[in-house]
Chain A
Amino acid sequence: MATSEPGPPRREVTVPLLRRVEGEGGLRLGFSDGALSEVALEIFEPPRYFEAFLVGRGALEAPDITARICGICPVAYQTSSSLALEAIAGATLTPEIAALRRLLYCGEWLQSHALHVFLLHAPDFFGCTDAVELAQRDRGLVERGLRLKRAGNQLLETIGGRAIHPVNVRAGGFYRAPASAAVAALVPVLRDALEDARAAAEWAATLHYPDLHRDYRLVALRGAGAYPIESGAYVAGPDGLAVSPAEFAELAVEHHVAHSTALQARLGGEAYLTGPLARFAHNRDLLPPLAAAAADAAGLGAICTNPYRSLLVRCVELVAACEEALRLAEAYVPPDPPAVSLRLGQGRGFGASEAPRGLLLIGYATDAEGDLTWARITPPTSQNQLSIEGDLRVLAEGGASLSDGELAQRCEAAVRNHDPCISCSAHFLDLEVTRR
């Protein structure tokens, strides 16, 4: 009977289902002989083939179809899709339409950031299982989060027609401009929300954050004179990178890895990070005044590379979103017409906007009839996966002496730092069917 030498002691730490993230994923750490040998953020949601089934559809259908990827950030998908089609058509929005688009997008930031900060992320800082347990400890905190989220819902309901998957957005603008009175009714709601957001930033500045600093390669839109939300002047990145979304699409190369149904993007072959830390780093000087003051008061410098403190940066961005939304609502002039018309022929275009959790890049190609012949959708979580795995690697290497449970809990919380939207990320580019 053959015998074999015993292999090196192997230890595996597995979190089969990540909690308090959007979508379904897990993580796996492997140690051999005490040394970290494997880190995998496992995304196992079924791929959904959006890029494949968009082909052949009329291009003007694309914003609504693409937005079905996510119920948390549909405005981001509608906006990046619209920008891509507007690029193909060479269309320019009127200032009134552009302002309304930004106002709508502020609502999504409020919804998403409030949900993540108060209901999904904050429990980690108090050792709570979830928001219900957190509410037992600090009722006012969770109430504040729900009020902010509700303000975001009201913005989307008023401008978009409903709070989830708004129906009023089209390439070139909107189907109908909301009445002035309806937008004016948002002003007191947004004033209250602004106070809640400022209080949230003050609260977030008091939290104890683990001391972890990472050498991220940060990528975000650089705002065109304002903090980037619905658009930007260009994509900014490491080493002075400043490129158009179309150029960035050439540089950000997506790969398939065995442990994930999401593609992983690399920039120059390396990991990079999008999201609030990246936006802040490239645009701190463009924060509106109250948000800038909140950042100063919280002790945030020019750049923040501690992933745990993304909660604090998100709170600063909540202030920015409220401040911008209030300014836009007070100055609202109904766009007339509510959309510019697009003449779509053969072409190819890219659009990029800042989804709450990071840069969302979308590209389409159209034929002479204006039907889609190609689509590329690169969501933030695909771009952030490698950097998240980098965080896990650092934590696992420093925490090898922890019990499996402690290490799993620490790593799971580290994933939540980046507010991953796993459902968004899970779609392959190509579907090949061979019939014999």
Chain B
Amino acid sequence: MSTDYGLPLPRWWMRLGSILLVVILVLPALVVVPISFSSGSIIAFPLPGFSWHWYGEAAASPAWRDALLSSLRVGAASTLIATVIGTAAALGIDRLQGRTRAIVLLATLLPLVIPIVILALGAYFALATVGLSNSLTGLVIFHAALGLPFVTLSVVASLQGFDRTLWRAAASLGASPITAFRRVMLPIIAPGVAAGAIFAFAMSLDEVVVASFVTAPSQRTLPLQMFSGIKENTGPIVTAVATLLLLLSMTFLLVVEMLRRRSRRLATASEAT
């Protein structure tokens, strides 16, 4: 057997440990799925029987429906803002080099590396100052801030795969900078933009802390509704919603993976030989 100088321990041990770790990482989230089909009204094992009951409850409940609508609205609006600002910023960062580039890239990460509760408190003060307290508009602005790093990083990464000579080729064939951007660069980086946007949307759909600081109790978003559902132990209806969210996440994950493959195919296809 060959020696692996990149591994501190024999390969088989590392492999076994890694498999164990990933299983522990993935399985727990799936626990909610069986409970959501429980015919009983408490969240516990063993399950008394199978039923779709809680899905019906969730669909029929105005509180859950309103929460879902609020979340979708906030998510869509904040994603749009984050995508426009983040894509522009990524195009700017792509023109920078060396130290300036590193500093600007780090600055785009700021919303991710400030502890979220501190950002949420600052948001509370800032929105109170401009009279946007207790509004979904305020939440949109700060969710856009949290989504911004995902979009920027994703687009910067896809721009790195963009072969600069394509830009020159387009110009030599008669394309103005705007035409070259629209017809050559944008189609090639589009998967990166879309992946970043999906990340930003998923983030908004799962965000509790800022939401609990800046929204009014009457405008619960989906995570807030779930949070109170879990705290107040309102039964398996929460697990039904959780299962639906899980399904949504899987869809997101698959779409992003498809986009990533497409983006890589475009990148490798444009490389020399």
Asked if A pairs with B, the answer is no
